[in-house]
Structure 1
């Protein structure tokens, strides 16, 4: 039987926590990690982010971490490295989330690879983002009409840009890894870069 490993109702400071294969991990409820190194060696289905705070921590994804929702955790001053695909960061207040602590402030993703990652309800001016071949669209929901006027290569416009109006208004940024999304949407990273260059609200 796969063991359940719980980090809950306590504060941990200055430790290295390795979440490796063979366990089901629970962060929270009511856990605080300060100045810890969190090494994520498991797939997201084995990692449950219940609620808590990570403060001044280093978070390392050993493999590609897919579709993990960090919006139940308060992240402040943290540094992310590794590959993150389809992850959500920030704060989303939903009917089953109101008692949870979420948020993102003063975090550094410059050493991470982000693809199809969304940021909610946070001040992106406090967040360091990865540069090319990653790129980030700021305030994409609010700027959807403007972005639809751009001539996008391949299926990027039809799949990504046309979908922006369906996104929640509190989504403040959307980050992609150009080679990965280009391969999926019948274009190239170079063609995407040409379309992005000169646009306002793009970090790359």
Structure 2
């Protein structure tokens, strides 16, 4: 195991790239103004009770289904591909994680949730990604929209999601492939909605 814990690291470049060991950040670790390069899959990455402040976090390979709910992310900039990641704080452990003031404009997100956070402080990626705000609270409104292809079924599924989901970001090309439609048809619907950013 490669472990960084119980200290503060400032202005360093950390590269997580071990093919054989788990990369572990935490407990009681603070990274400040660091560059964190992630080259490992989610199963080889653990971030627990860690503060990342004003860091650049770059996924050099697609990071899939990773939960950042034990990380406090403040003023960080994300780059690379993040698929099915969760950012923010889980309701049952509200003090273990959080996100504020982060910038995803140089990242590609699909199926990423932002939980129990103030989304007004976050910069989201632009088209072909798009962000729906308060999707669980608004599921009835969103499911009444005439979505193209089979996309309406996905929107109906918001009813079963975590109520504290403040936003969810998708990739229009990925949704289009999965639900037999086109990014242009998805955008045409989004342009008529409130509570969306693209």
Q: TM-score, normalised by structure 2?
A: 0.97
2:13 maps to 1:19:
no
- Is there any run of 5+ residues in structure 2 with no aligned partner, and where? none
- Is there any run of 5+ residues in structure 1 with no aligned partner, and where? none
2: CA distance between counterparts of 1:17 and 1:110?
22
Q: 1:134 aligns with which of 129, 135, 157?
A: 129
Residue equivalent to 1:183: 177
Query: What whole-Å deviation, never above 9, does each CA across 1:122-176 have from its counterpart, x for those lacking one?
Result: 0000000011000000011111111011000111111x21111111111000100
Residue equivalent to 2:193: 199
Residue equivalent to 1:146: 141
Q: 1:174 aligns with which of 162, 168, 173?
A: 168
What is the number of residues matched between the two proteins?
197
Matches within 5 A, 1:16-95: 16-22=13-19, 23-94=21-92
CA shift for structure 1 position 93: 2.9
RMSD, aligned α-carbons: 1.0
Q: Kindly report structure 1 stretches of 4+ aligned residues shifted beyond 3 Å.
A: none
Q: 2:102 aligns with which of 99, 103, 107?
A: 107
CA shift for structure 1 position 63: 1.1
Query: Contact 2:68 / 2:85 at 8 angstroms: preserved in 1?
Result: yes
CA shift for structure 1 position 21: 3.3
2: CA distance between counterparts of 1:140 and 1:33?
32
CA shift for structure 1 position 116: 0.3
Query: Contact 1:53 / 1:101 at 8 angstroms: preserved in 2?
Result: no
